[in-house]
Amino acid sequence: MNFQINRRGLLKTAAAGAAFGALQPFNRAFAATDLVWMTWENLAKDDYLAAFLKGGDVSLTKNFIGTDDEQFAKLRAGGASSVDLITPGLDKVEYYVASDLLQPIDFAKVPNAALLYDTFKKTDLGKKDGKTYGIPFYWGINPIVYRADLMDGEPDWSVFFEGDKYKGKLAMRDYALEGIMIAALYLGIPKDKMFDMDDKELAEVKKALLAQKKLLRTYWNSIGDLTNLFASGEVVCAFSWVPPYYDLSARGLKMGMAKPKAGVIGWCDTIAVPKGVEGEKLDKVFSLVNYLLGPEYGEKLAFGGPYAQGTSAALDKLPDEQKEKIFVKDLSIMDSFVWKKNPARYNDWVALWNEVKAS
């Protein structure tokens, strides 16, 4: 029996899921205008959303996630019927669509989507059969962050693979997808081939990663932890997210942020609507989606994050300095990004990553 689990199938088989589902109609009957948004904590700050909620006909329940994987696992285990809006990564939307968890976006109800940057309009990610399931909602890059006071010059990807000047003072994120992408960038594997590497290329990647491991102080798992490692001087240079650069600069440390010419990993999160949300509630959900792509939210995010929105809605409201910070001053830079994508042989990537770490 070749049997693909979909949400309803799982609900039938898994007792926990069934119990979860059985409770749901009850909840909905009593809170018709309450929307449940599964999202990252930093995207749902009260002042970001105040303009949308002040009308009073919608209330919002925030359901914070720790990782994208956790969000997917929750939905797969039957949690889809308990949320109205989710925040999957652009590269992960494919998973949700394949698991039949999402409904297509009705662009008629989301006018701000017309303002999406071209890159996002053109990308295949988040789409299937011409329908969009996840709208690129906010994005950024994962650069190299370093202690400018403790390094001689701006590093590029090679600092993680060769020489031993900074041996034992480097850190890499413990994440197979990005770790292998960086090795591929270092090895000069073209962006369009990167996600379909063959055995030979993967073997080269593995060799490079084994060399990298000898140079590392540690792999990092949370951005707070990495910030701590930078601050204490245990690590001088890491493949990072942006926040430690701003946090530690604000605390008086001389930090640097490098965007290697070989390519920078760009990330993008989307908003997507689970299957089963319908009627008046669906309209409310789309009006929230429209707000999230609109100028009020975009401005708040640009200063509060600082992160760029998926649309150009707020662009006019931002001073150049702030545009620089969120990489939208010169939009052509987007072309040098490597957008994270789900590799065809992802399980092999994960296995390879674990082999390197366990070596």
Partner 1 sequence: MARSRTGFWLSVPVYAAVVALCVAPLLILLAYSFFQVSFVAVLKEPTLKNYVRIVGSDTYRWLILKAFGSGLMVAAITAVIGYPVAWFIAKRVVAAKSAFLTLLLVPLYTGDLVRIFAWRMLLGAEGVLNTFLMAFGAIREPIGALLFSSLATHIVLTYNYLPFMVLGLWLAFEALDDRLVEAAADLGAGAVSTFRRVTLPLTVPGLVAGSMMVFVMVVGDYLTPQLVGGASGITIISAINDLFGTAFDWPLGSAIAWTMLAILALAFAGAAIVINRSSLGKALAAGEA
Give the dihedral sign, CA 65/68/70/75: positive
Minimum distance, C-beta of residue 328 to partner 1, in the bound complex (Å) = 30
Question: 228, 249, 287, 336: which one contacts partner 1 (CB under 8 A)?
Answer: 228
Instruction: Using the CB atoms, write b or e for 76-91: b if 16+ within 10 Å.
Output: bebbbbbbbbbbbbbb
Question: 2, 54, 56, 192: which one contacts partner 1 (CB under 8 A)?
Answer: 2
Distances (CA, A) of 300 to 88, 226, 295, 303: 21, 26, 9, 5
Q: Of 17-56, which residues contact partner 1 (CB under 8 A)? A: none
Instruction: Tell me if 308 sits within 8 A of 138, measured CB to CB.
Output: yes
Q: Of 123-182, which residues contact partner 1 (CB under 8 A)? A: 168, 174-177
Q: Which is nearer to partner 1, 71 or 81 (CB)?
A: 71
Q: Which is nearer to partner 1, 112 or 227 (CB)?
A: 227
- The beta-carbon contacts of 198-206 under 8 Å, at least 24 apart in sequence, are 202/345, 202/348, 202/349, 202/352, 205/180, 205/352, 206/352, 206/355, 206/356
Residue 358 as a binder of partner 1 (CB under 8 A): the answer is yes
Q: Which is nearer to partner 1, 229 or 328 (CB)?
A: 229
113: Cβ–Cβ under 8 A, 6 or more apart, which residues? 105, 107, 135, 290, 293, 311
Instruction: Tell me if 269 sits within 8 A of 137, measured CB to CB.
Output: yes
| Amino acid type, 31 | A
d(CA 106, CA 355): 44
Counting DSSP H helices and E strands in the chain, the numbers are 14, 14
232-261 mask for partner 1 (x: CB under 8 A)? Answer: xxx---------------------------
Strand partners, 142: 265
Three-state SS for 287-311 is HHHHHHCCHHHHHHHHHHCCCEECE
Question: 40, 64, 161, 346: which one contacts partner 1 (CB under 8 A)?
Answer: 346
Residue 213 as a binder of partner 1 (CB under 8 A): the answer is yes
Residue 118 as a binder of partner 1 (CB under 8 A): the answer is no
d(CA 20, CA 8): 12
d(CA 357, CA 74): 27
180-209 mask for partner 1 (x: CB under 8 A)? Answer: ------------------------------
Residue 12 as a binder of partner 1 (CB under 8 A): the answer is no
Residue 325 as a binder of partner 1 (CB under 8 A): the answer is no
Residue 332 as a binder of partner 1 (CB under 8 A): the answer is no
Minimum distance, C-beta of residue 47 to partner 1, in the bound complex (Å) = 29
d(CA 107, CA 62): 24
Of 77, 69, 131, 129, give the one whose Cα is nearest residue 95.
Answer: 69
Minimum distance, C-beta of residue 176 to partner 1, in the bound complex (Å) = 6
Minimum distance, C-beta of residue 288 to partner 1, in the bound complex (Å) = 27
Residue 354 as a binder of partner 1 (CB under 8 A): the answer is yes
Q: Which is nearer to partner 1, 33 or 359 (CB)?
A: 359
Number of residues binding to partner 1, judged by CB under 8 A: 42
Instruction: Tell me if 343 sits within 8 A of 184, measured CB to CB.
Output: no
Residue 218 as a binder of partner 1 (CB under 8 A): the answer is yes
Residue 225 as a binder of partner 1 (CB under 8 A): the answer is yes
Question: 4, 26, 122, 280: which one contacts partner 1 (CB under 8 A)?
Answer: 4
Question: 67, 111, 278, 304: which one contacts partner 1 (CB under 8 A)?
Answer: 67
Question: 49, 60, 87, 95: which one contacts partner 1 (CB under 8 A)?
Answer: 95
Residues in contact with partner 1 by CB under 8 A are: 1-5, 14-15, 67, 69-70, 72-73, 76, 95, 98-99, 168, 174-177, 213-214, 216-219, 221, 225, 228, 232-234, 346-347, 350-351, 353-355, 357-358
